[in-house]
Chains A and B, each alone.
Chain A
Amino acid sequence: MQLSTKHLLGIKDLQASDIQTILDTATQFKEVLQRPIKKVPTLRDVTIVNLFYENSTRTRISFELAEKRLSADTINFTATGSSVSKGESLLDTVNNILSMKVDMVVMRHSASGAPHFLAKHIPAAIVNAGDGINEHPTQALLDAFSIREKFGSLEGKKCAIIGDIMHSRVALSNIYLLKKMGAEVMVAGPPTLIPVHIREAFDIRVEYNLRKALEWCDVANVLRIQLERQNQVLFSSLREYNLAYGINRKMLDSLPKEIVIMHPGPINRGVELDSDVADSKQSLILQQVENGVAVRMAVLYLLAAKQPIFNP
Protein backbone atom coordinates (compact mmCIF):
# COMPACT_ATOMS: atom_id res chain seq x y z
CA MET A 1 0.00 0.00 0.00
CA GLN A 2 2.60 2.56 -1.09
CA LEU A 3 2.74 4.69 -4.18
CA SER A 4 5.77 4.17 -6.41
CA THR A 5 6.13 7.91 -6.89
CA LYS A 6 6.81 10.90 -4.66
CA HIS A 7 4.81 13.34 -6.80
CA LEU A 8 1.66 13.07 -8.84
CA LEU A 9 2.79 14.71 -12.05
CA GLY A 10 0.80 12.63 -14.48
CA ILE A 11 -0.90 9.29 -14.97
CA LYS A 12 1.93 8.47 -17.38
CA ASP A 13 4.31 7.93 -14.43
CA LEU A 14 1.92 5.77 -12.40
CA GLN A 15 1.74 2.00 -12.37
CA ALA A 16 -1.55 0.14 -12.52
CA SER A 17 -1.07 -0.84 -8.86
CA ASP A 18 -0.72 2.84 -7.88
CA ILE A 19 -3.99 3.66 -9.60
CA GLN A 20 -5.64 0.73 -7.85
CA THR A 21 -4.31 1.93 -4.48
CA ILE A 22 -5.56 5.47 -5.05
CA LEU A 23 -9.02 4.30 -6.08
CA ASP A 24 -9.28 1.87 -3.14
CA THR A 25 -8.17 4.56 -0.71
CA ALA A 26 -10.69 6.97 -2.23
CA THR A 27 -13.47 4.48 -1.46
CA GLN A 28 -12.63 4.76 2.24
CA PHE A 29 -12.52 8.54 2.04
CA LYS A 30 -15.89 8.57 0.33
CA GLU A 31 -17.26 6.85 3.43
CA VAL A 32 -15.67 9.56 5.59
CA LEU A 33 -17.55 12.15 3.55
CA GLN A 34 -20.88 10.48 4.43
CA ARG A 35 -20.25 10.81 8.18
CA PRO A 36 -22.00 13.46 10.29
CA ILE A 37 -18.54 14.96 10.91
CA LYS A 38 -16.78 14.83 7.54
CA LYS A 39 -13.31 15.57 8.78
CA VAL A 40 -10.40 13.41 9.93
CA PRO A 41 -7.25 14.65 11.70
CA THR A 42 -4.89 12.69 9.45
CA LEU A 43 -2.84 15.50 7.89
CA ARG A 44 -3.02 18.03 10.72
CA ASP A 45 0.77 18.52 10.62
CA VAL A 46 0.89 19.15 6.88
CA THR A 47 0.76 22.51 5.12
CA ILE A 48 -0.32 22.60 1.49
CA VAL A 49 -0.17 25.49 -0.95
CA ASN A 50 -2.63 25.63 -3.82
CA LEU A 51 -0.73 27.34 -6.58
CA PHE A 52 -3.11 28.32 -9.37
CA TYR A 53 -1.58 30.09 -12.32
CA GLU A 54 -4.71 29.45 -14.35
CA ASN A 55 -8.44 29.82 -13.67
CA SER A 56 -10.31 26.99 -12.02
CA THR A 57 -13.53 26.48 -10.09
CA ARG A 58 -14.08 22.78 -9.51
CA THR A 59 -10.49 21.66 -9.17
CA ARG A 60 -9.47 24.42 -6.77
CA ILE A 61 -12.53 24.10 -4.55
CA SER A 62 -12.27 20.33 -4.65
CA PHE A 63 -8.60 20.33 -3.64
CA GLU A 64 -9.20 22.90 -0.94
CA LEU A 65 -12.10 20.94 0.47
CA ALA A 66 -10.08 17.71 0.35
CA GLU A 67 -7.25 19.41 2.25
CA LYS A 68 -9.64 20.79 4.85
CA ARG A 69 -11.39 17.44 5.32
CA LEU A 70 -7.94 16.00 6.07
CA SER A 71 -7.21 18.81 8.56
CA ALA A 72 -4.24 20.11 6.57
CA ASP A 73 -3.39 23.81 6.68
CA THR A 74 -3.89 25.46 3.31
CA ILE A 75 -2.66 28.54 1.55
CA ASN A 76 -4.27 29.71 -1.66
CA PHE A 77 -2.19 31.41 -4.26
CA THR A 78 -3.52 32.79 -7.51
CA ALA A 79 -1.26 34.41 -10.07
CA THR A 80 -3.47 37.46 -10.47
CA GLY A 81 -2.90 39.88 -7.60
CA SER A 82 0.45 38.35 -6.66
CA SER A 83 4.06 39.30 -7.32
CA VAL A 84 3.90 37.22 -10.50
CA SER A 85 2.57 40.38 -12.10
CA LYS A 86 5.78 42.09 -10.96
CA GLY A 87 7.77 39.54 -12.93
CA GLU A 88 8.74 36.99 -10.25
CA SER A 89 9.62 33.63 -11.77
CA LEU A 90 7.81 30.39 -10.99
CA LEU A 91 10.79 28.88 -9.17
CA ASP A 92 11.38 32.02 -7.09
CA THR A 93 7.74 32.21 -6.15
CA VAL A 94 7.63 28.59 -5.05
CA ASN A 95 10.94 28.73 -3.20
CA ASN A 96 9.72 31.77 -1.26
CA ILE A 97 6.55 29.95 -0.30
CA LEU A 98 8.47 26.79 0.64
CA SER A 99 10.86 28.72 2.89
CA MET A 100 7.79 29.29 5.07
CA LYS A 101 7.74 25.50 5.65
CA VAL A 102 5.17 24.21 3.23
CA ASP A 103 5.10 20.45 2.66
CA MET A 104 3.09 20.00 -0.51
CA VAL A 105 2.29 21.98 -3.62
CA VAL A 106 -0.88 21.56 -5.64
CA MET A 107 -0.37 23.39 -8.87
CA ARG A 108 -2.11 24.35 -12.06
CA HIS A 109 -0.20 26.10 -14.80
CA SER A 110 -0.89 26.99 -18.40
CA ALA A 111 2.55 25.71 -19.47
CA SER A 112 2.81 21.97 -20.07
CA GLY A 113 5.57 20.49 -17.91
CA ALA A 114 5.59 23.26 -15.27
CA PRO A 115 5.05 20.80 -12.38
CA HIS A 116 7.73 18.48 -13.79
CA PHE A 117 10.15 21.40 -13.82
CA LEU A 118 9.31 22.25 -10.20
CA ALA A 119 9.68 18.63 -9.10
CA LYS A 120 13.32 18.72 -10.21
CA HIS A 121 14.11 21.80 -8.16
CA ILE A 122 12.17 21.71 -4.90
CA PRO A 123 11.91 19.19 -2.06
CA ALA A 124 8.12 19.35 -1.52
CA ALA A 125 5.68 16.85 -3.02
CA ILE A 126 3.89 18.17 -6.08
CA VAL A 127 0.38 17.36 -7.23
CA ASN A 128 -0.39 18.37 -10.79
CA ALA A 129 -3.83 19.98 -10.96
CA GLY A 130 -3.57 20.48 -14.72
CA ASP A 131 -0.61 21.66 -16.79
CA GLY A 132 -1.29 23.24 -20.17
CA ILE A 133 -2.37 20.63 -22.69
CA ASN A 134 -0.39 17.84 -21.01
CA GLU A 135 -2.12 16.10 -18.10
CA HIS A 136 -4.79 16.50 -15.44
CA PRO A 137 -4.23 13.35 -13.38
CA THR A 138 -6.75 13.85 -10.57
CA GLN A 139 -9.52 14.42 -13.12
CA ALA A 140 -8.71 11.11 -14.81
CA LEU A 141 -8.61 9.39 -11.41
CA LEU A 142 -12.01 10.72 -10.41
CA ASP A 143 -13.43 9.77 -13.82
CA ALA A 144 -12.09 6.26 -13.28
CA PHE A 145 -13.49 6.20 -9.76
CA SER A 146 -16.93 7.22 -11.06
CA ILE A 147 -16.86 4.57 -13.80
CA ARG A 148 -15.74 1.93 -11.32
CA GLU A 149 -18.49 2.96 -8.93
CA LYS A 150 -21.08 2.66 -11.69
CA PHE A 151 -19.85 -0.54 -13.37
CA GLY A 152 -17.78 -2.25 -10.66
CA SER A 153 -14.59 -2.33 -12.72
CA LEU A 154 -12.77 -0.62 -15.57
CA GLU A 155 -11.57 -3.80 -17.20
CA GLY A 156 -13.01 -4.25 -20.68
CA LYS A 157 -15.28 -1.20 -20.44
CA LYS A 158 -15.67 0.75 -23.68
CA CYS A 159 -14.90 4.40 -23.06
CA ALA A 160 -15.21 7.05 -25.75
CA ILE A 161 -13.58 10.43 -25.20
CA ILE A 162 -15.43 12.88 -27.38
CA GLY A 163 -14.60 16.42 -28.44
CA ASP A 164 -11.50 18.58 -28.40
CA ILE A 165 -8.84 15.89 -27.94
CA MET A 166 -6.03 18.09 -29.23
CA HIS A 167 -6.17 20.74 -26.51
CA SER A 168 -7.40 18.54 -23.69
CA ARG A 169 -5.22 17.48 -20.78
CA VAL A 170 -8.20 15.52 -19.45
CA ALA A 171 -8.19 13.41 -22.61
CA LEU A 172 -4.51 12.55 -22.34
CA SER A 173 -4.69 11.60 -18.65
CA ASN A 174 -7.81 9.55 -19.31
CA ILE A 175 -6.19 7.69 -22.21
CA TYR A 176 -3.17 6.76 -20.08
CA LEU A 177 -5.32 5.69 -17.16
CA LEU A 178 -7.93 3.72 -19.07
CA LYS A 179 -5.25 1.86 -21.05
CA LYS A 180 -3.35 0.99 -17.87
CA MET A 181 -6.51 -0.32 -16.23
CA GLY A 182 -7.50 -2.48 -19.18
CA ALA A 183 -10.40 -0.49 -20.59
CA GLU A 184 -11.01 -0.07 -24.32
CA VAL A 185 -10.50 3.51 -25.45
CA MET A 186 -11.80 5.49 -28.39
CA VAL A 187 -11.35 9.15 -29.18
CA ALA A 188 -13.96 10.87 -31.30
CA GLY A 189 -14.38 14.36 -32.72
CA PRO A 190 -13.70 16.45 -35.76
CA PRO A 191 -10.47 15.45 -37.57
CA THR A 192 -9.02 18.91 -36.94
CA LEU A 193 -9.29 18.41 -33.16
CA ILE A 194 -7.71 14.94 -33.03
CA PRO A 195 -3.91 14.65 -33.23
CA VAL A 196 -2.88 12.81 -36.40
CA HIS A 197 -0.84 9.95 -34.95
CA ILE A 198 -2.86 9.34 -31.80
CA ARG A 199 -4.07 5.92 -33.02
CA GLU A 200 -0.56 4.54 -33.37
CA ALA A 201 0.85 6.38 -30.35
CA PHE A 202 -1.61 4.94 -27.85
CA ASP A 203 -3.07 1.95 -29.68
CA ILE A 204 -6.61 3.29 -29.40
CA ARG A 205 -9.59 3.64 -31.73
CA VAL A 206 -10.29 6.88 -33.58
CA GLU A 207 -13.77 7.74 -34.86
CA TYR A 208 -14.89 10.85 -36.68
CA ASN A 209 -18.59 10.04 -36.64
CA LEU A 210 -20.32 10.87 -33.35
CA ARG A 211 -23.18 8.43 -33.82
CA LYS A 212 -20.85 5.50 -34.43
CA ALA A 213 -18.81 6.43 -31.36
CA LEU A 214 -21.92 6.52 -29.18
CA GLU A 215 -23.17 3.22 -30.53
CA TRP A 216 -19.85 1.58 -29.64
CA CYS A 217 -19.26 2.90 -26.13
CA ASP A 218 -20.51 2.18 -22.59
CA VAL A 219 -19.25 5.50 -21.29
CA ALA A 220 -19.02 8.77 -23.21
CA ASN A 221 -16.66 11.25 -21.61
CA VAL A 222 -17.54 14.50 -23.35
CA LEU A 223 -14.96 17.26 -23.33
CA ARG A 224 -15.32 20.99 -23.43
CA ILE A 225 -14.37 22.90 -26.53
CA GLN A 226 -11.41 24.88 -25.20
CA LEU A 227 -12.08 28.23 -26.78
CA GLU A 228 -9.24 29.86 -24.83
CA ARG A 229 -6.69 27.53 -26.41
CA GLN A 230 -7.87 27.88 -30.02
CA ASN A 231 -5.68 30.22 -31.99
CA GLN A 232 -6.57 28.94 -35.42
CA VAL A 233 -9.86 28.04 -37.00
CA LEU A 234 -10.30 24.31 -36.42
CA PHE A 235 -14.06 24.26 -36.91
CA SER A 236 -16.21 26.91 -38.52
CA SER A 237 -18.61 27.84 -35.71
CA LEU A 238 -19.94 26.61 -32.39
CA ARG A 239 -23.32 26.12 -34.04
CA GLU A 240 -21.83 23.87 -36.66
CA TYR A 241 -19.89 21.97 -34.02
CA ASN A 242 -23.13 21.43 -32.12
CA LEU A 243 -24.87 20.14 -35.23
CA ALA A 244 -22.16 17.60 -35.99
CA TYR A 245 -20.80 16.69 -32.53
CA GLY A 246 -23.27 17.97 -29.95
CA ILE A 247 -25.02 15.22 -27.98
CA ASN A 248 -28.77 15.64 -27.64
CA ARG A 249 -31.63 13.69 -26.10
CA LYS A 250 -32.99 12.44 -29.41
CA MET A 251 -29.69 10.86 -30.32
CA LEU A 252 -29.26 9.19 -26.93
CA ASP A 253 -32.79 7.77 -27.05
CA SER A 254 -32.19 6.26 -30.48
CA LEU A 255 -29.13 4.28 -29.31
CA PRO A 256 -29.48 0.52 -28.84
CA LYS A 257 -28.36 0.68 -25.16
CA GLU A 258 -28.32 3.24 -22.38
CA ILE A 259 -24.86 4.78 -22.11
CA VAL A 260 -23.37 6.90 -19.34
CA ILE A 261 -22.45 10.53 -19.99
CA MET A 262 -19.53 12.18 -18.21
CA HIS A 263 -18.08 15.66 -18.55
CA PRO A 264 -15.14 17.18 -16.64
CA GLY A 265 -16.80 20.61 -16.62
CA PRO A 266 -17.34 23.44 -17.17
CA ILE A 267 -20.04 22.53 -19.69
CA ASN A 268 -20.69 24.67 -22.75
CA ARG A 269 -24.41 23.98 -22.75
CA GLY A 270 -25.80 23.76 -26.24
CA VAL A 271 -22.35 23.16 -27.75
CA GLU A 272 -20.98 19.73 -26.79
CA LEU A 273 -23.91 18.74 -24.55
CA ASP A 274 -27.55 19.81 -24.59
CA SER A 275 -29.09 20.64 -21.23
CA ASP A 276 -31.55 17.74 -21.30
CA VAL A 277 -28.58 15.39 -21.61
CA ALA A 278 -26.33 17.09 -19.05
CA ASP A 279 -29.11 17.11 -16.43
CA SER A 280 -30.51 13.64 -17.13
CA LYS A 281 -30.10 10.60 -14.94
CA GLN A 282 -27.78 9.08 -17.52
CA SER A 283 -25.26 11.77 -16.64
CA LEU A 284 -22.64 11.19 -13.95
CA ILE A 285 -21.47 14.80 -14.00
CA LEU A 286 -22.41 15.75 -10.45
CA GLN A 287 -21.24 12.39 -9.05
CA GLN A 288 -17.89 13.10 -10.71
CA VAL A 289 -17.63 16.35 -8.77
CA GLU A 290 -18.61 14.62 -5.52
CA ASN A 291 -16.08 11.84 -6.08
CA GLY A 292 -13.41 14.42 -6.87
CA VAL A 293 -13.06 15.35 -3.20
CA ALA A 294 -12.62 11.72 -2.09
CA VAL A 295 -10.09 10.99 -4.85
CA ARG A 296 -8.06 14.11 -4.04
CA MET A 297 -8.10 13.22 -0.35
CA ALA A 298 -6.69 9.83 -1.28
CA VAL A 299 -3.93 11.36 -3.41
CA LEU A 300 -2.91 13.86 -0.73
CA TYR A 301 -3.00 11.22 2.00
CA LEU A 302 -0.90 8.74 0.04
CA LEU A 303 1.67 11.35 -1.01
CA ALA A 304 1.91 12.92 2.45
CA ALA A 305 2.88 9.57 3.93
CA LYS A 306 5.82 9.47 1.52
CA GLN A 307 7.04 12.85 2.71
CA PRO A 308 9.72 13.18 5.38
CA ILE A 309 8.26 14.91 8.40
CA PHE A 310 9.59 18.46 8.34
CA ASN A 311 10.89 20.00 11.59
CA PRO A 312 10.82 16.84 13.69
Chain B
Amino acid sequence: MKTILTEEQLDITILRLCHQLLENRLEFDDLVIVGIQPRGIFFSDRVVTQINQQISPKKITYGKLDITFYRDDVRQGLHTLNQTDIPFSIENKSVILVDDVLYTGRTVRAAMDALLAFGRPAKVELCVLIDRRFSREVPIQADYAGKSIDTIITQKVKVLWKERDGKEEVVLL
Protein backbone atom coordinates (compact mmCIF):
# COMPACT_ATOMS: atom_id res chain seq x y z
CA MET B 1 0.00 0.00 0.00
CA LYS B 2 1.36 3.37 -1.04
CA THR B 3 0.01 6.75 -0.07
CA ILE B 4 -0.63 9.01 -3.04
CA LEU B 5 -2.07 11.97 -1.17
CA THR B 6 -2.05 12.61 2.57
CA GLU B 7 -4.86 14.45 4.30
CA GLU B 8 -3.04 17.78 4.06
CA GLN B 9 -2.15 17.27 0.42
CA LEU B 10 -5.74 16.33 -0.30
CA ASP B 11 -6.99 19.62 1.18
CA ILE B 12 -4.47 21.64 -0.82
CA THR B 13 -5.30 19.75 -4.01
CA ILE B 14 -9.02 20.36 -3.64
CA LEU B 15 -8.38 24.04 -2.96
CA ARG B 16 -6.20 24.28 -6.05
CA LEU B 17 -8.83 22.57 -8.23
CA CYS B 18 -11.47 25.00 -7.00
CA HIS B 19 -9.26 27.97 -7.86
CA GLN B 20 -8.68 26.52 -11.30
CA LEU B 21 -12.43 26.10 -11.80
CA LEU B 22 -12.96 29.70 -10.75
CA GLU B 23 -10.17 31.34 -12.75
CA ASN B 24 -11.63 29.97 -15.96
CA ARG B 25 -14.88 31.87 -15.64
CA LEU B 26 -16.09 35.36 -14.88
CA GLU B 27 -19.71 34.56 -14.14
CA PHE B 28 -21.17 31.85 -12.01
CA ASP B 29 -24.86 32.14 -12.89
CA ASP B 30 -24.59 29.36 -15.40
CA LEU B 31 -22.29 27.12 -13.41
CA VAL B 32 -23.67 23.73 -12.44
CA ILE B 33 -21.69 21.15 -10.52
CA VAL B 34 -22.77 17.53 -10.79
CA GLY B 35 -21.19 14.85 -8.62
CA ILE B 36 -21.23 11.26 -9.84
CA GLN B 37 -22.70 8.70 -7.43
CA PRO B 38 -21.66 6.96 -5.32
CA ARG B 39 -18.05 7.93 -4.62
CA GLY B 40 -17.73 11.16 -6.54
CA ILE B 41 -20.13 13.00 -4.27
CA PHE B 42 -17.76 13.12 -1.30
CA PHE B 43 -15.33 15.00 -3.53
CA SER B 44 -18.04 17.17 -5.12
CA ASP B 45 -19.40 18.08 -1.66
CA ARG B 46 -15.95 19.48 -0.79
CA VAL B 47 -15.64 21.32 -4.09
CA VAL B 48 -19.04 22.94 -3.68
CA THR B 49 -18.39 23.96 -0.07
CA GLN B 50 -15.04 25.43 -1.05
CA ILE B 51 -16.35 27.33 -4.08
CA ASN B 52 -19.28 28.73 -2.13
CA GLN B 53 -16.78 30.13 0.37
CA GLN B 54 -14.77 31.77 -2.39
CA ILE B 55 -17.59 33.41 -4.31
CA SER B 56 -20.15 34.09 -1.60
CA PRO B 57 -22.80 35.36 -1.43
CA LYS B 58 -23.46 33.69 -4.77
CA LYS B 59 -24.55 30.10 -4.57
CA ILE B 60 -23.82 27.61 -7.32
CA THR B 61 -26.26 24.96 -8.49
CA TYR B 62 -25.33 21.50 -7.31
CA GLY B 63 -26.72 18.10 -8.27
CA LYS B 64 -25.94 14.43 -7.85
CA LEU B 65 -26.15 11.90 -10.64
CA ASP B 66 -26.46 8.12 -10.54
CA ILE B 67 -25.37 6.50 -13.78
CA THR B 68 -26.39 2.88 -13.17
CA PHE B 69 -29.14 2.84 -15.80
CA TYR B 70 -26.69 4.13 -18.41
CA ARG B 71 -23.82 1.72 -17.81
CA ASP B 72 -22.65 -0.38 -20.74
CA ASP B 73 -22.29 -3.42 -18.45
CA VAL B 74 -25.66 -3.06 -16.75
CA ARG B 75 -26.76 -6.57 -17.72
CA GLN B 76 -23.55 -8.27 -16.61
CA GLY B 77 -24.57 -8.10 -12.98
CA LEU B 78 -26.66 -5.87 -10.81
CA HIS B 79 -25.27 -2.64 -9.52
CA THR B 80 -26.41 -0.86 -6.41
CA LEU B 81 -28.65 2.07 -7.20
CA ASN B 82 -28.04 5.47 -5.72
CA GLN B 83 -30.13 8.56 -5.64
CA THR B 84 -30.14 11.00 -8.51
CA ASP B 85 -30.88 14.51 -7.34
CA ILE B 86 -30.99 17.04 -10.16
CA PRO B 87 -34.15 19.09 -9.52
CA PHE B 88 -33.24 21.71 -12.14
CA SER B 89 -32.72 21.96 -15.88
CA ILE B 90 -29.18 22.07 -17.22
CA GLU B 91 -30.32 23.60 -20.53
CA ASN B 92 -27.58 26.02 -21.71
CA LYS B 93 -25.68 25.71 -18.45
CA SER B 94 -21.99 25.10 -18.06
CA VAL B 95 -21.73 21.75 -16.29
CA ILE B 96 -18.76 20.41 -14.40
CA LEU B 97 -18.89 16.67 -13.82
CA VAL B 98 -17.05 15.66 -10.67
CA ASP B 99 -15.74 12.19 -9.83
CA ASP B 100 -12.99 10.90 -7.58
CA VAL B 101 -10.99 8.63 -9.89
CA LEU B 102 -10.79 8.65 -13.70
CA TYR B 103 -9.78 5.20 -14.90
CA THR B 104 -11.27 3.56 -18.01
CA GLY B 105 -13.50 6.54 -18.77
CA ARG B 106 -16.60 4.38 -19.08
CA THR B 107 -18.30 5.94 -16.05
CA VAL B 108 -17.85 9.41 -17.51
CA ARG B 109 -19.20 8.24 -20.86
CA ALA B 110 -22.31 6.95 -19.10
CA ALA B 111 -22.57 10.13 -17.06
CA MET B 112 -22.57 12.30 -20.19
CA ASP B 113 -25.38 10.16 -21.60
CA ALA B 114 -27.33 10.40 -18.35
CA LEU B 115 -26.82 14.15 -18.16
CA LEU B 116 -28.60 14.73 -21.46
CA ALA B 117 -31.88 13.57 -19.88
CA PHE B 118 -31.85 16.86 -17.95
CA GLY B 119 -31.39 19.23 -20.89
CA ARG B 120 -28.76 20.27 -23.41
CA PRO B 121 -25.86 21.90 -21.58
CA ALA B 122 -23.82 24.63 -23.24
CA LYS B 123 -20.63 22.94 -22.10
CA VAL B 124 -19.57 19.92 -20.06
CA GLU B 125 -16.20 19.71 -18.32
CA LEU B 126 -14.70 16.98 -16.20
CA CYS B 127 -12.98 17.45 -12.87
CA VAL B 128 -11.37 14.47 -11.13
CA LEU B 129 -9.25 14.07 -8.05
CA ILE B 130 -7.05 11.26 -9.38
CA ASP B 131 -6.34 10.62 -13.05
CA ARG B 132 -5.01 7.12 -13.78
CA ARG B 133 -3.15 7.82 -16.98
CA PHE B 134 -2.75 5.44 -19.92
CA SER B 135 -5.62 3.18 -18.85
CA ARG B 136 -8.48 4.71 -20.83
CA GLU B 137 -10.81 2.46 -22.81
CA VAL B 138 -12.73 5.36 -24.39
CA PRO B 139 -11.40 8.72 -25.60
CA ILE B 140 -12.16 10.84 -22.53
CA GLN B 141 -9.79 13.19 -20.68
CA ALA B 142 -10.18 15.33 -17.59
CA ASP B 143 -10.19 19.14 -17.83
CA TYR B 144 -9.13 19.44 -14.21
CA ALA B 145 -7.16 16.72 -12.44
CA GLY B 146 -5.90 16.77 -8.86
CA LYS B 147 -3.07 14.36 -9.48
CA SER B 148 -2.11 12.20 -12.43
CA ILE B 149 -0.60 8.83 -11.64
CA ASP B 150 0.68 5.85 -13.62
CA THR B 151 -0.79 2.54 -12.53
CA ILE B 152 -1.14 -0.99 -13.80
CA ILE B 153 -4.42 -2.84 -14.13
CA THR B 154 -3.98 -5.00 -11.02
CA GLN B 155 -3.57 -1.96 -8.80
CA LYS B 156 -6.46 -0.18 -7.15
CA VAL B 157 -6.76 3.46 -6.18
CA LYS B 158 -8.74 4.07 -3.03
CA VAL B 159 -9.92 7.47 -1.89
CA LEU B 160 -10.82 7.58 1.80
CA TRP B 161 -13.10 10.26 3.25
CA LYS B 162 -13.67 11.26 6.85
CA GLU B 163 -17.47 10.99 6.58
CA ARG B 164 -17.34 7.41 5.41
CA ASP B 165 -13.97 5.86 6.27
CA GLY B 166 -12.95 7.81 9.36
CA LYS B 167 -9.75 9.12 7.79
CA GLU B 168 -8.81 11.12 4.78
CA GLU B 169 -6.20 10.06 2.20
CA VAL B 170 -5.64 8.54 -1.22
CA VAL B 171 -3.83 5.21 -1.40
CA LEU B 172 -2.65 2.80 -4.06
CA LEU B 173 -3.32 -0.85 -3.29
Contact = CB atoms under 8 A, between A and B. Distances in A.
Interface string A22-42: 001100100110011101111
Contacts of B117: 35-37, 39-40
B69 A42 contact: yes
Interface stretch (B8-16, B26-34, B80-88, B144-152): B80-88
Given A37-B116, A40-B70, A31 B78 contact: no
Contact of B78 (A35, A46, A305): A305
Contacts, number: 51
Contacts of A41: 69-70, 113
Interface in B113-132: 113-114, 116-119
B30 to A, nearest CB: 18
A65 to B, nearest CB: 16
Nearest to A3: B78
Interface string A281-312: 00000000000000000000110110101000
Given A36-B89, A37-B117, A42-B69, A28 B81 contact: yes
A149 interface: no
Size category of the A interface is 20 to 34
Given A35-B117, A36-B89, A41-B69, A28 B83 contact: yes
Size category of the B interface is 20 to 34
A3 B80 CA distance: 13
A37 B118 CA distance: 7
A24 B69 contact: no
A40 B68 CA distance: 10
Nearest to B79: A1
Given A28-B84, A45-B75, A36 B118 contact: yes
B66 interface: yes
A2 B81 contact: no
A35 B70 contact: no
A35 B113 CA distance: 14
Given A28-B84, A305-B75, A305-B77, A36 B119 contact: yes
Given A37-B116, A37-B117, A1 B80 contact: yes
Contact of A305 (B66, B74, B82, B118): B74
Nearest to A38: B117
Contacts of B116: 37
Contacts of B86: 35
B75 A24 contact: no
B78 A2 contact: yes
B78 A302 contact: yes
Contacts of A36: 89, 117-119
A309 B77 CA distance: 11
Interface string A89-107: 0000000000000000000
B35 to A, nearest CB: 16
A1 B118 CA distance: 27
B113 A31 contact: no
Contacts of B69: 32, 40-42, 301
B164 to A, nearest CB: 19
B80 A31 contact: no
B118 A35 contact: yes
Nearest to A70: B69
Contacts of B77: 305
Interface of A: 1-2, 24-25, 28, 31-32, 35-37, 39-43, 45-46, 301-302, 304-305, 307, 309
19 contacts: A25-B81, A28-B66, A28-B82, A32-B69, A35-B86, A35-B118, A36-B89, A36-B117, A37-B116, A40-B69, A40-B70, A40-B117, A41-B70, A41-B113, A42-B70, A301-B69, A304-B75, A305-B78, A309-B76
For the complex of A and B, the 7 pairs showing the least CB-CB separation, nearest first, are A40-B69, A37-B117, A42-B69, A28-B81, A305-B78, A35-B117, A1-B78
Given A37-B117, A302-B78, 7 more contacts: A1-B81, A24-B81, A28-B83, A40-B114, A40-B117, A309-B75, A309-B76
